Amino acid sequence: MFPYRSCAHTHSRFCDGLDEPKAMVQKALEQNFISLGFSGHGAADYDDAAMTPEGERAYRAEVRRLQKAYDGKMEILLGQEHDALSPYADFPYDFLIESVHYIPTPEGKRCVDWSADRTEETIRQAFGGDPYAYCRAYFETCARAYEKSPAVIAGHLDLVTKFNEGGRQFDETDPRYLGPALEALECAVRRNMAVELNTGAVARGYRTAPYPGPDLLRRLRELGGRVMVNSDCHNAALLTCWYEEAAEYLKALGFHSVVILRKNGFQEIGI
């Protein structure tokens, strides 16, 4: 049994998730969770997955209601997954996750996690066919966001690899990839953000290993940065997808502990 009985990255039907927040809470309770964080996609007019401003208000009310209803049984945290290209307004939340789902290009914002075809089209049309220029633009967007973000968690740090299983679009060991990727990682650590081991793409069948890749995780450990296991859950049935495997995976990379997010901040848990 995994000791990190927590997830700080979940989506409900208020954004692009399947379930009511309450169904997620019940699933978490079944697994004896210590804490559960909701992180609906913050309003962004260019993003179909995001909540509307009215939806966001209703989401906050529902999660706050659950927080009270389950007080003493499990810690419930109200968060938001903020997309780096949306404005930084006031955040009436317990915590934020900073994520990059879109990159700016001369032809407008381009989504990085929609489909393999759309990614390849973006590389051709906006980056002259150079996948490394595309990756650099992604990681530079991450670094710029981390630099100013109030978030405590860096979301799926190398999301740009979503459709790159087997290296079909670029080589993740190439210095043209790793250079900007490591700079973004170092920026997150400098800003004291926890980096998530995000199992969501495994749960949805896009990848066989979680984000971020092993070279980035090794560097995270060398830097003494914090790692946390999150499932980026869009379906309550998959709340702990790959959680069992994650402990061995992280230990093989030299980690001895992870953090979980609680009401009073991060708690370190040995693995």
Contacts with Zn ion by CB under 5 A lie at 81, 99, 232
For residue 226, what are its two tokens? 């914090």
Residues 145 and 83: their CA atoms lie apart, in Å, by 9
The answer to whether 90 touches 80, Cβ cutoff 8 Å, is no
The CB-of-60 to Zn ion minimum distance in angstroms stands at 17
The CB-of-34 to Zn ion minimum distance in angstroms stands at 21
10 versus 122: smaller Cβ distance to Zn ion: 10
75 versus 98: smaller Cβ distance to Zn ion: 98
Residues 154 and 159: their CA atoms lie apart, in Å, by 11
Q: What is the DSSP letter of 103?
A: E
Residue found by looking up tokens 């208000």 in the block: 57
Cβ-defined contacts of 264-270 (< 8 Å, 24+): 266/152, 266/194, 266/226, 266/228, 268/226, 269/3, 269/4, 270/3
The helix (run of H) or strand (run of E) holding residue 202 is helix 200-203
The CB-of-35 to Zn ion minimum distance in angstroms stands at 17
The CB-of-138 to Zn ion minimum distance in angstroms stands at 13
The CB-of-81 to Zn ion minimum distance in angstroms stands at 5
137 versus 173: smaller Cβ distance to Zn ion: 137
172 versus 232: smaller Cβ distance to Zn ion: 232
Query: E strands of the chain, at which residues?
Result: 6-7, 35-41, 75-83, 95-99, 102-105, 108-111, 153-154, 194-198, 227-230, 257-262, 265-270
99 versus 161: smaller Cβ distance to Zn ion: 99
The CB-of-157 to Zn ion minimum distance in angstroms stands at 11
5 versus 82: smaller Cβ distance to Zn ion: 82
